[in-house]
Amino acid sequence: IANNKYANSRLIANILPVLEELDLAIRHTEGNAGGQPDVQSGVNQSLLEGIKLIQRKLTSVLESEGVAAIEAVGLIFNPLEHEALGTEESDEIEPGYVTQMLRPGFRLHDRVVRPAQVMVARAPEDQ
């Protein structure tokens, strides 16, 4: 019975890309807004609001099942939760800390369903 809280992990892992696609659609639509007040932008705004509503509902369902996003940016790299895709020089961020998240990660209760893909700070070459 202890494993019942992880019974949905495969389904959740398959749903996470849908949530990412919704996030991408929202960012893309908001980025292309352009600010021209016409009928088309009104339609786009309605579509955007619909996509945001679906995203919020899906996020709420996942949270109710015990899914939580993995925090990354500004934290020290943790190989149990983060997958480093590379390093980048940084004067502002200490070496070994996450500078940016390239793909969000998620955990189901205390188990990582998918690690966050991140970039990690390294010291500048000239030091």
Tell me the per-residue pLDDT of 45-59, one tens digit each, with 9 for 90 and over.
888 889 899 999 999
pLDDT of residue 126: 66
Average pLDDT of 62-89? 94
pLDDT of residue 1: 46
pLDDT of residue 90: 86
Amino acid found at 83 = E
57 contacts 15 by C-beta, under 8 angstroms: no
Average pLDDT of 74-86? 95
Average pLDDT of 89-102? 91
CA distance 19 to 61: 11
Overall residue count recorded for the chain in this entry? 127
